Structure formats: structure tokens, C-alpha cells
Amino acid sequence: MATFTLLALGLAALLLSAAGPAAAQNCGCRPNECCSTDGYCGTSIAYCGRACQSGACAVLSGGIAVPVESVVTAAFFNGIKSHAVAGGGCAGKNFYTLRSFLVAARANPDFAKGRSKDDSKREIAAFFAQVTHETGHLCLIEETNGTSQDYCDERDTDWPCYAGWAYYGRGPLQLRWNSNYGPAGKSIGFDGLRNPEKVAQDPVVAFKAALWLWMNNVHPFVPQGFGATTRAVSGIAECDGGNSTAVNARASYYRDYCKKFGVDPGNFLTC
């Protein structure tokens, strides 16, 4: 009888241990949501970061990388440029180069590291879809009409604004605000607060700034679908009905680039 009881208890323990991970995979969240270790669903980094037990968990480090240069070829990069407007209104056409992007990408080893090679290719497609929209096919170096605003948040005493400098959008992903220029410059190696124009003068710095912004603000949300990257880039200005035309344009670029890379774009393409 004692032997039977011990066997029964052992079997029960085995079943419970086997059921644990399965139960964690089915905690009632929607496909693009994350289930936290407390059992709650959400899409922010609080749910999808290190406390994530299942669902669209962020890839915070590690993962499977693909050689970026094998995906972002000269044909692909120049193909984006080929759709830019002709004439003198396209300053970025001679500014942005494939080499400058690849140098910046090599300085960010966690970029394009997903759970699979296809996920990594999807991140590259997402990055360039957002860049394409933000710059008008790698045409703009500075945001249109941005020079009329200084984008200075005086409440940020850690990264104070300096007289004579404006922190409007520059680069492939439009780096804005002193609170971004300061830490981005520190990470990349230039004085972002006293020389923000460096982002519009050096193409390697421009792409490094864009990838700094991407890795800090967008990369964790890539597993949730392309729509989540649009929300991270544009927020309420476009999402939730703010500008559905822009949202759909970004998604169209993403689908096109995924097709070029031979991967399925997945679900949740709009925000």
C-alpha cells in the first residue's frame, strides 16, 4: 500500500511538472500579448520583458542572428533610394550609404537577433519600412518644418538643453528631444547636446543614432508584430485612428520588404 502511494505521488508530481509549461502557454492572452509571471496580459515591456512567461515575449538579448549584409544588399538598399523624389530636394540620396548602415549595424550586435532567422529578417524589414516612411525613401536628413521647434524638455535635468541648439528630428528615424540626443550621443561617442547637428552631418552617426533609438525603444516590441513597432515609433500621432493612411503606408513597405527577404510578414501589421 505504501509503495502504491509513493508511486501515485510520484506520478502526480510528474504530471504537474509537465503541465506547468503548457499551462503557462495558455493563460488567456491574445496572440500579440504577453503573459507576465503574475499571470496578467499586456503588450508593454513590463509584461513582455524579463517578467514574460509566454506569448509575444521580447528578445532582450541573445537570439539567432543573420548576417545583416547578406540581407541588406546593394540592390535592396539602392532600390529604396530609387523611389525617392528626383532633383535637389532629396539631400539624403547622396548622404545615406549602404556602407554607413552596415558600419552602424555591426556596432549593434543585438540588432536583427530574433528567435529564428526569419524573425531576424522580419526585424530588418521592419526597421527599413519605418526608415523608408520617416525619410521618404532615404531622402530626408532632417524632419520637414522641424527647425521651427527646439524640442527642449527643460524638466530633464540629466540631459539639459544648451542655448543655440535645437533638438528636432534628424537621421533615418528622426532622433528628437534632448532626452534622446544626450544619451544617444554618450552611447555613440559624440556630444549630442552641444552638437546635435552631427546626426545630420555624418551618415554613420546618423544610422548609429537611428539604431540606438530602435534598440532602446522599438526592438523589444518586434515580437508583437509590425504594428507594435509603428506604435513605438509614432504613438498616438498615427495609431488608434490618428493617421490610418500613414499606418497603412508603413505596413505596405514592411510587407514588400518581407517579400523581398522571403519571409512571411506575420500578423498584427497595423496599430
Residue type at position 132 = T
3-state secondary structure 27-89: CCCCCCCEEECCCCEECCHHHHCCCEEEECCCCCCCCEECCHHHHCCHHHHHHHHCCCCCCCC
d(CA 185, CA 190): 5
Catalytic annotation, pick one of 33, 134, 142, 238: 134
End-to-end CA distance of the chain: 61
CA distances from 121 to 202, 224, 261, 266 (A): 26, 15, 7, 12
Q: Which of 258, 230, 232, 254 is nearest to 244 (CA)?
A: 230
**118: nearest Cα among 71, 74, 179:** 71
Helix (H) or strand (E) holding 114: strand 113-114
Q: Please, which residues have CB within 8 angstroms of residue 2's CB and are 6 or more apart in sequence?
A: none
Q: Is residue 134 flagged as an active site residue?
A: yes
Q: Which residues are catalytic?
A: 134
